[in-house]
C-alpha cells in the first residue's frame, strides 16, 4: 500500500465534492527516513525530498508541519523548497541561531467555509537536545513559551485551533492540558499504526500510521461551543466505570452481611456514600449535556488505505518517475566517486560472499546461477534504477534487510561486486562463520518471513511461499 500518486488520486476523489469545505494538512516527518543522511546519499535524498514537495503542492496541502526527521538536510534546504514550490511549512519553535528569529511561519489561518481555523506547527524537539550536524543553523524555543505567545495572538481571531505536533502522545496530552484553546492535535513521528482520535482535555489527538500507507479523514461539525461532544461522553464513561466497580463492591458486602445490617460496617457506608455522589455527578453531567447537546461539536473519522488497486494520478506519477530517474543518476555519481576513491565497503565482517560458498556447494551454486535471484540487479538496470539505493536494498546481498539499519550504517554504498544480486547469504544469513567451521556453525534455513522482507505485496502481487520456494530452493547436498 502507499505511494504519492495513489495519495493524489484519493485526495482528488475526496475533494471533488464541493458541497463541504475541505482542509488538507500534513503533520510532518514527510521528507526523510532518518534524522541523519549518510554523505554518499545526500544528493539523492535531497532530490527525492524535492520530488515529494512538488507532489504535495499538486495535492493542495494547506499546511505542513516540520518534524525532527525533516531537518536532516538543514533548515536552509527547507526554506529553498518553500520558496521554489510555495509549500506552507509551519513551525512555532524553530529559530535562527544567528538572530533568534522564527525560521518559518508559526501558523497559518485558513478560511474553511465560514470557519477560520488556525493551523500551528510544533516541531517535536526540546531545547538542549539537539545533537546532529544539521542543527548548526537553528535552535529551538521551549514549546511552553512558543505556544503561549502564539495562542495569545490567534485565539481571539479564529473559531478553531489545530496543532501539527511531532511530539509523542504523552507530551501532546500535556500540551492539551496546558492549552485548552487547542481543539485538535495531528501527531507525527511516534507510531507506526493509525491512532483513533482520543480526547485529552479539550483536544482530540490522532495520527495516521507511518510510511504513507493511509490517509486520515474526519468529517467535523464545529460549533460555537468549541467543545467536543466526546467531552461529556468520556466523562460519563469514566464515572460509569467507577460506579460499576462500587456496585460490585457493595454487592459483595451485602452478600457477606446477608442476615445482618450492613450499615453497621464503616466500609459499606463509605462505599454507598461514594455511589450516591457519583450517581449525582452522572445525572448532573447528563443534564448539562442535554442542555448543550445541539451546540456540541461532533466528528466521524476513518483511515483510508492507499491500496495497490487504486488508480494513480498521472501528474504526480510523472513527478515520481522523474524523481526516481534523478535519484538514479545521483546514485551513480556517488558510487562512481566511491570507486574512484577506492572505498570498498566491508558490508559486514560476518559475510563470506557466494564464491566462498561455491567451494563446498558447487551444484547449489550452479543451480542458483540459473535463477532470477542471480540476475536481481539486472532487473533494476532494465528500469534504470540500479543506482537508486531505495531499490537496491532488495537486489543485493546484505547482512540485514531492516531499512533503518541499512540506511543508518550506509551498507549499500561501495558494496563489493560479489554481493551484487540476491546471493546465498540473502536467504541463509551471513556465512563467514559457516565457511570457517561448517559443522559448528550451520546456515539459517529461510522461511516465509525471510522471503517477505523483499517479496512484499507492493513488489510481488503473486507471492505464494509454498509455490515459489519449490522453484528457488537449492537442491540438497
Partner 1 sequence: MNKKKIKRTTTVKLLTLFVVVALLFLNGQAAFAVDFKLIFSNDIRGEIEPCG
Residue from 145, 252, 256, 459 that binds partner 1 (CB under 8 A)?
Answer: 459
What is the smallest separation between the CB atom of 60 and partner 1, expressed in angstroms? 10
CB atoms within 10 A of CB 321: 13
Q: Which stretch binds partner 1 (CB under 8 A): 95-103, 241-249, 316-324, 348-356?
A: 316-324
Residue from 135, 390, 411, 427 that binds partner 1 (CB under 8 A)?
Answer: 390
Q: What are phi and psi of 367, to 5 degrees?
A: -60, -45
| Contact of 411 with 347, CB cutoff 8 Å | yes
Residue 19 or 370: the one with the smaller Cβ distance to partner 1 is 19
Q: What are phi and psi of 160, to 5 degrees?
A: -150, 150
The burial class, CB within 10 Å (0-12 / 13-18 / 19+), for 125 is buried
Task: Determine, following the binding rule CB under 8 A, whether residue 212 of this chain makes contact with partner 1.
Answer: yes
Task: Determine, following the binding rule CB under 8 A, whether residue 122 of this chain makes contact with partner 1.
Answer: no
Task: Determine, following the binding rule CB under 8 A, whether residue 464 of this chain makes contact with partner 1.
Answer: no
Residue 74 or 403: the one with the smaller Cβ distance to partner 1 is 403
What is the smallest separation between the CB atom of 395 and partner 1, expressed in angstroms? 13
What is the smallest separation between the CB atom of 455 and partner 1, expressed in angstroms? 8
With a CB cutoff of 8 Å and minimum separation 6, the contacts of 144 are: 178
Residue 284 or 290: the one with the smaller Cβ distance to partner 1 is 290
What is the smallest separation between the CB atom of 404 and partner 1, expressed in angstroms? 10
Task: Determine, following the binding rule CB under 8 A, whether residue 276 of this chain makes contact with partner 1.
Answer: no
Q: Which of 188, 222, 226 is nearest to 208 (CA)?
A: 188
What is the smallest separation between the CB atom of 189 and partner 1, expressed in angstroms? 6
Q: Which of 241, 428, 463, 297 is nearest to 350 (CA)?
A: 428
Residue from 311, 362, 438, 457 that binds partner 1 (CB under 8 A)?
Answer: 457
| Contact of 137 with 76, CB cutoff 8 Å | yes
Distance of CA 459 to the CA centre of its chain: 20
Cα 352 to Cα 431: distance, rounded to the nearest angstrom: 5
| Contact of 188 with 67, CB cutoff 8 Å | yes
Q: What is the DSSP string of 65-108?
A: E--GGGGTT-HHHHHHHHHHH---EE-SSEEETTT--BSSBSEE
Residue from 180, 262, 305, 403 that binds partner 1 (CB under 8 A)?
Answer: 403
The site for partner 1, by CB under 8 A, has a size of 73
Residue from 320, 330, 406, 411 that binds partner 1 (CB under 8 A)?
Answer: 320
Q: Which stretch binds partner 1 (CB under 8 A): 31-39, 134-142, 239-247, 411-419?
A: 31-39
Length of the chain: 477
Residue from 222, 228, 354, 419 that binds partner 1 (CB under 8 A)?
Answer: 222
| Contact of 119 with 63, CB cutoff 8 Å | yes
Task: Determine, following the binding rule CB under 8 A, whether residue 5 of this chain makes contact with partner 1.
Answer: yes
By CB under 8 A, the residues from 406 to 445 that bind partner 1 are none
The burial class, CB within 10 Å (0-12 / 13-18 / 19+), for 299 is middle
What is the smallest separation between the CB atom of 154 and partner 1, expressed in angstroms? 18
Residue from 324, 361, 420, 434 that binds partner 1 (CB under 8 A)?
Answer: 324
Q: Which of 139, 230, 146 is nearest to 183 (CA)?
A: 230
Residue from 217, 275, 332, 468 that binds partner 1 (CB under 8 A)?
Answer: 217
**The C-alpha cell of 10 is what?**
484519493
By CB under 8 A, the residues from 46 to 65 that bind partner 1 are 48-49, 51-52, 55, 65
What is the smallest separation between the CB atom of 15 and partner 1, expressed in angstroms? 8
Task: Determine, following the binding rule CB under 8 A, whether residue 69 of this chain makes contact with partner 1.
Answer: yes
With a CB cutoff of 8 Å and minimum separation 6, the contacts of 63 are: 25, 26, 88, 90, 108, 110, 119, 121, 164
Residue from 188, 347, 397, 421 that binds partner 1 (CB under 8 A)?
Answer: 188
Question: 107-112 and 160-165 as β-strands: parallel, antiparallel, unpaired?
Answer: unpaired
What is the smallest separation between the CB atom of 113 and partner 1, expressed in angstroms? 5
Residue from 20, 237, 252, 256 that binds partner 1 (CB under 8 A)?
Answer: 20
Terminal Cα-to-Cα distance of the chain (whole angstroms)? 40
What is the smallest separation between the CB atom of 391 and partner 1, expressed in angstroms? 9
By CB under 8 A, the residues from 328 to 387 that bind partner 1 are none
Q: Which stretch binds partner 1 (CB under 8 A): 80-88, 243-251, 431-439, 452-460?
A: 452-460
Across-strand partners of 94?
140
Amino acid at each position: 500500500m502507499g505511494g504519492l500518486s495513489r495519495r493524489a488520486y484519493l485526495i482528488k476523489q475526496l475533494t471533488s465534492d464541493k458541497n463541504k469545505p475541505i482542509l488538507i494538512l500534513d503533520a510532518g516527518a514527510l521528507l526523510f527516513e532518518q534524522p541523519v543522511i549518510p554523505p554518499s546519499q545526500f544528493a539523492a535524498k535531497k532530490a527525492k525530498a524535492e520530488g515529494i514537495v512538488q507532489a504535495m503542492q499538486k495535492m493542495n496541502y494547506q499546511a505542513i508541519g516540520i518534524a525532527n526527521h525533516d531537518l536532516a538536510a538543514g533548515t536552509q534546504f527547507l526554506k529553498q523548497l518553500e520558496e521554489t514550490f510555495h509549500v506552507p511549512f509551519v513551525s512555532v519553535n524553530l529559530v535562527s541561531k544567528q538572530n533568534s528569529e522564527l525560521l518559518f511561519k508559526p501558523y497559518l489561518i485558513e478560511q474553511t467555509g465560514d470557519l477560520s481555523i488556525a493551523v500551528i506547527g510544533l516541531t517535536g524537539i526540546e531545547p538542549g537536545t539537539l545533537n546532529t550536524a544539521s542543527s548548526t543553523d537553528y535552535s529551538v524555543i521551549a514549546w511552553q513559551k512558543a505556544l503561549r505567545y502564539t495562542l495569545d495572538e490567534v485565539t481571539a481571531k479564529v473559531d478553531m485551533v489545530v496543532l501539527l505536533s511531532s511530539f509523542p502522545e504523552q507530551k501532546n496530552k500535556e500540551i492539551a492540558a496546558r492549552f485548552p484553546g487547542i481543539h485538535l492535535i495531528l501527531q507525527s513521528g511516534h507510531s507506526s499504526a493509525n491512532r483513533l482520535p482520543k480526547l485529552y482535555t479539550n483536544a482530540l489527538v490522532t495520527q495516521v500510521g507511518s510510511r504513507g500507507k493511509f490517509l486520515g479523514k474526519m468529517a467535523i461539525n464545529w460549533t460555537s461551543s468549541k467543545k467536543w461532544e466526546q467531552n461529556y461522553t468520556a466523562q460519563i464513561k469514566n464515572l460509569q466505570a467507577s460506579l460499576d466497580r462500587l456496585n460490585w463492591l457493595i454487592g459483595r458486602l451485602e452478600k457477606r452481611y446477608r442476615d445482618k445490617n450492613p450499615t453497621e460496617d464503616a466500609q459499606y457506608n463509605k462505599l454507598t456514600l461514594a455511589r450516591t455522589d457519583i450517581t449525582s455527578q452522572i445525572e448532573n453531567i447528563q443534564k448539562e449535556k442535554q442542555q448543550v447537546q445541539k451546540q456540541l461539536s461532533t466528528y466521524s473519522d476513518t483511515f483510508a488505505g492507499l491500496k495497490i488497486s487504486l488508480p494513480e494520478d498521472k501528474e504526480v506519477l510523472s513527478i515520481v518517475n522523474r524523481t526516481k530517474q534523478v535519484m538514479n543518476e545521483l546514485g551513480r555519481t556517488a558510487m562512481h566517486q566511491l570507486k574512484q576513491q577506492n572505498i570498498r565497503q566491508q558490508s559486514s565482517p560476518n559475510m563470506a560472499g557466494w564464491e566462498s560458498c561455491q567451494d563446498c556447494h558447487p551444484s547449489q551454486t550452479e543451480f542458483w546461477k540459473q535463477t532470477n535471484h542471480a540476475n536481481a540487479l539486472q532487473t533494476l538496470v532494465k528500469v534504470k534504477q540500479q543506482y537508486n539505493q531505495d531499490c537496491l536494498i532488495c537486489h543485493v546481498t546484505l547482512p540485514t534487510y531492516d531499512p533503518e539499519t541499512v540506511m543508518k550504517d550506509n551498507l549499500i554504498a561501495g558494496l563489493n561486486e560479489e554481493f551484487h544480486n540476491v546471493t546465498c547469504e540473502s536467504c541463509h544469513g551471513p556465512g563467514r562463520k559457516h565457511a570457517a567451521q561448517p559443522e559448528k556453525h550451520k546456515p539459517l534455513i529461510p522461511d516465509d518471513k525471510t522471503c517477505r522482507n523483499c517479496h512484499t505485496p507492493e513488489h510481488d502481487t503473486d507471492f505464494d511461499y509454498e509455490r515459489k520456494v519449490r522453484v528457488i530452493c537449492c537442491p540438497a547436498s
